[in-house]
């Protein structure tokens, strides 16, 4: 993904140009087709590439006006590092303290996210999900810290112009956190929260840096 992203941002793969067929590109990069598909999915979520169907279709490099290009701020990795540590801890504590009503509320938020129309609605519900986990811990300072981290995260995820499939995958990860909480497995809940954060990091890492 990084090699393709750098080639796009350096102009080696110019806007409007077409990528080679998947099989050929995988051979050129020396990776499996499954690995290539994951990289292409992240680049598409970051709007650096797009697919066209039908005759003359394929995968093409997106064309940007310079003032439209999303630029990651210098502190983006620090934001995700802090979020990971806070939400892993919150997930562990919440797992030991959640009642059935709490778990049902999280389940309802997941259902609403699957039904959400548009990324803005999804994002509001997403924030509510993570704040609810923090609230279950009963720790005021932790709730405040998670809320601040979510504000900073929102600033970053708005740079993803075409979230598409990423929203469905994100919600599947929410369901994984909830499953671990229902199983009373605090370690598994923390690990699910970690991978949820790393999924966001993976997509954002395809964006150009400031």
pLDDT band of 203, cuts 50, 70, 90: confident
Q: What is the pLDDT of residues 77-95, one digit of tens each?
A: 999 999 999 999 999 999 9
| pLDDT at res. 66 | 47
Distances, alpha carbon 41 to alpha carbons 156, 183, 205, in Å: 18, 32, 12
Q: Looking at the predicted structure, is the pLDDT value of residue 65 above 60?
A: no
Choose from 15-19, 147-151, 176-180 the range with maximum mean pLDDT. 176-180
Is the pLDDT assigned to residue 16 strictly greater than 90? no
Using 50, 70 and 90 to split pLDDT, how confident is the model at 63?
A: confident
- Given this model, what pLDDT does residue 84 score? 97
**Residue with the larger pLDDT of the pair 14 and 189:** 189
Task: Please report the pLDDT score of residue 44 as a whole number.
Answer: 82
**Predicted TM-score of the model (pTM):** 0.70
């Amino acid at each position: 993904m990084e090699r393709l992203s750098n080639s796009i941002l350096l102009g080696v793969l110019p806007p409007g140009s077409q990528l080679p067929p998947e099989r050929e590109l995988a051979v050129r990069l020396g990776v499996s087709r499954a690995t290539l598909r994951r990289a292409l999915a992240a680049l598409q979520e970051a709007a650096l590439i797009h697919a066209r169907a039908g005759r003359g279709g394929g995968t093409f490099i997106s064309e940007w006006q310079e003032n439209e290009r999303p630029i990651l701020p210098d502190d983006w990795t620090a934001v995700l590092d802090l979020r990971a540590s806070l939400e892993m801890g919150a997930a562990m504590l919440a797992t030991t303290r959640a009642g059935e009503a709490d778990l049902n509320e999280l389940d309802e938020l997941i259902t609403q996210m699957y039904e959400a129309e548009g990324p803005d609605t999804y994002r509001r519900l997403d924030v509510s999900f993570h704040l609810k986990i923090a609230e279950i811990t009963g720790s005021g300072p932790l709730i405040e810290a998670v809320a601040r981290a979510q504000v900073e995260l929102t600033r970053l995820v708005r740079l993803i112009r075409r979230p598409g499939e990423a929203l469905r995958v994100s919600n599947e990860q929410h369901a994984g956190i909830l499953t671990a909480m229902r199983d009373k497995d605090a370690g598994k809940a923390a690990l699910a929260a970690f991978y949820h954060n790393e999924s966001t990091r993976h997509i954002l890492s395809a964006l150009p840096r400031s």
